[in-house]
Structure 1
């Protein structure tokens, strides 16, 4: 395995966990899938539709999101919104992420 492949493998792992936190963080206001995709990309968080949509379904199945269909437009859209359970989970994940971030930064500050 080349160095480039190793780095790419670790970056994929790092992003996978971070995407959950980013998606939950964005859903304090309702978004439909494509709108959320654009929001994340506007915030420089690269994500593919084939990653986002299964993630949204999984988070909803886990009871962290609610969804509602908007059929007032010509194209029906499913809007997602974080619920109370999702807010508690997001806070716990964010708190842990901040602790890890600070701890890792201290390692690099020592260099």
Structure 2
């Protein structure tokens, strides 16, 4: 149980923030994979852009996106190590375009709703 109301509020914020982040993680991964990368380099790029992603979240997502036909991958040796390189498939590029259109529409709606929000 939470020790204080502040602890409960902080836990709720963390939960809601996580839900919101999951909402844009797919589009972020697809956008980053316009250029072929392996998992660690992708994770680093996302972190450099302010989107920290756990390995336990990223790798299952990459496998799911590949199963859905949005990514292609191949194993290659680099620096005496085998690495799996991911890239956006043609279907993934088309889906990214659709997701970005949807994101812009949602952003415009939220911007309109927040116009009167006192900060």
TM-score band by shorter chain is over 0.9
Select the residue among 34, 37, 43 that pairs with 1:28.
34
Aligned CA RMSD, in angstroms, stands at 1.2
TM-score normalised by the chain length of structure 1: 0.94
Taking structure 2 as the reference length, what is the TM-score of the superposition? 0.88
Q: Deviations over 1:2-59 (max 9, x none)?
A: 2222211111111112111100000001000000000101111111111111110110
Would you say 1:40 and 2:50 are equivalent positions?
Answer: no
- Structure label with greater radius of gyration: 2
1:78 lines up with 2:60 in the alignment: no
SS of the residue 2:61 aligns to: helix
Alignment equivalent of 1:88, drawn from 94, 107, 110: 94
Q: Report the equivalent of 2:57.
A: 51
String of CA shifts for 1:61-99, please: whole Å, max 9, x gaps. Answer: 111000011125311111000011001111111110111
User: Structure 1: any 5+ residue segments left out of the alignment?
Assistant: none
Distance between the aligned counterparts of 1:14 and 1:31, measured in 2?
25
Secondary structure of residue in 1 paired with 2:81? coil
Q: How many pairs are equivalent?
A: 111
